[in-house]
Amino acid sequence: MALIQVRDLVKKFGDQTVLSNINLDLQEGDVRVLMGASGSGKSTLLRCLNRLVEPTSGSIVFRGKEVLGPGVDVKELRKQIGFVFQQFALYSHLNVLDNVALGLRKLQGMSKLEAKERALHELSHFDMTSHQDKYPAQLSGGQKQRVAIARALAMDPAVLVLDEPTSALDPVMSRDVADLINHLHGEGITMICVTHDLNLASNIADTVMFLDRGVIRADDRIEVLSQHPDPEIQSFFGNKEKA
Ligand SMILES: Nc1ncnc2c1ncn2[C@@H]1O[C@H](COP(=O)(O)OP(=O)(O)OP(=O)(O)O)[C@@H](O)[C@H]1O
Ligand SMILES: [Mg+2]
């Protein structure tokens, strides 16, 4: 059974249809990459998965259970689906350690001490132990993104959802975070990642889904997409400047 099964998912904002009949299966251990032009609906699709956005119609089944509709424990769902946003979204008033520990206390119900120990353990995997007392404003972009990923993984989610994890970073930091994601891929972490970075995409995933105005138009290897008969798809994947 797929970990996440999306069927005929539609999202409208007013008159605007942002997602049209999206179908998608994510298996345990899969790394799926989603690419597409700005405004094509990538973030909206990710946000539907844990109901940060309420879909208009369709179905999302997570571990055999329907996610949409009433009576679903959204808090429990969000524990299972770890999110890393483009803009890090760290709490600026909390230091690194507390940023990672907060969810463990609030969502997992750990004691203060337990949460801090768990958070420290997670930070050690990301070479961030020595920065544990710093506040987000005192970190580089790459370090902030490491903390954001550590925070998501500390919850031991079933899947890690990454929305443009490298786009706010300079090329060096971007490479650093890409290496980290590659490493997680090697460890068998299930991921779905939106990116504009063709190198990252080809490093972490076998195939890339191309979202065009709310429709998944292709799901194939980048080499195939860059030779796609549809010129729009071809130029997106053949021309790095444009991507
Ligand atoms: N809360 C909202 N209310 C109204 N319209 C929205 C809302 N969120 C997104 N949209 C619209 O939905 C469309 C898709 O937005 P989305 O953020 O999913 O695009 P994206 O593919 O992630 O783009 P980008 O690459 O720029 O991040 C856009 O036209 C956007 O204006
Ligand atoms: Mg987006």
Q: How much is the pLDDT for 167?
A: 84
Name residues contacting ligand 1 (CB within 6 A).
13, 18, 36, 38-44
Residue 31: the pLDDT is 92
What pLDDT is attached to residue 61? Answer: 96
Which ligand gives the minimal distance to the CA of 162? Answer: 2
Determine the Cα–Cα distance for residues 179 and 14; give it in Å rounded to an integer.
40
- Tokens for 28, please give them: 């345990």
Per-residue model confidence as pLDDT tens digits over 159-193:
999 999 888 788 888 888 888 888 888 888 999 99
First to last CA, the chain: 34
Ligand 1 center from residue 213 Cα (angstroms): 10
- CA nearest ligand 1 atom 12, residue: 18
pTM flag (> 0.85): yes
Task: For ligand 1, atom 9, name the residue with the nearest CA.
Answer: 44
For residue 242, what pLDDT is reported?
43
pLDDT band at 127 (very low <50, low <70, confident <90, very high): confident
Interatomic CA distance for residues 173 and 166, integer angstroms: 8
pLDDT of residue 190: 93
Distance in Å, CA 35 to ligand 1 centroid: 14
Residue entry with tokens 């997570």: 62
Q: Which amino acid would we find at residue 37? A: A
Q: pLDDT tens digits for 69-115?
A: 888 999 889 889 999 987 767 999 999 999 999 999 998 899 999 99
Mean pLDDT (the chain) is 91
Where are the alpha helices (H) located in 81-197, listed in sequence order? 96-106, 112-125, 141-154, 171-186
Q: Which fold has domain 4-238?
A: Rossmann fold (3.40.50)
What is the reported pLDDT for 239? 53
d(CA 216, CA 203): 21
Residues with CB under 5 A from ligand 2 (ion): 42-43
Cα–Cα distance, 154 to 152 (Å, whole number): 6
Handedness of CA 234, 239, 242, 243 (dihedral sign): positive
Residue owning the nearest CA to atom 1 of ligand 1: 13
Q: Which of 65-74, 212-221, 233-242 has the lowest mean pLDDT?
A: 233-242
Amino acid symbol at 26 = L
Residues 150/126, Cβ–Cβ less than 8 Å: yes
Burial class (CB in 10 A: 0-12, 13-18, 19+), 105: middle
Atom of ligand 1 nearest to the CA of 45: 18
Q: What is the pLDDT of residues 11-68, one digit of tens each?
A: 999 999 999 999 999 999 999 999 999 999 999 999 999 999 999 999 999 999 999 9
Pocket test residue of 10, 20, 44, 210 for ligand 1, highest count of atoms within 8 A of CB: 44
Pocket test for ligand 1, best of 34, 42, 56, 194 (most atoms within 8 A of CB): 42
How much is the pLDDT for 241?
46
Check if the beta carbon of residue 228 is closer than 8 Å to that of residue 34.
no
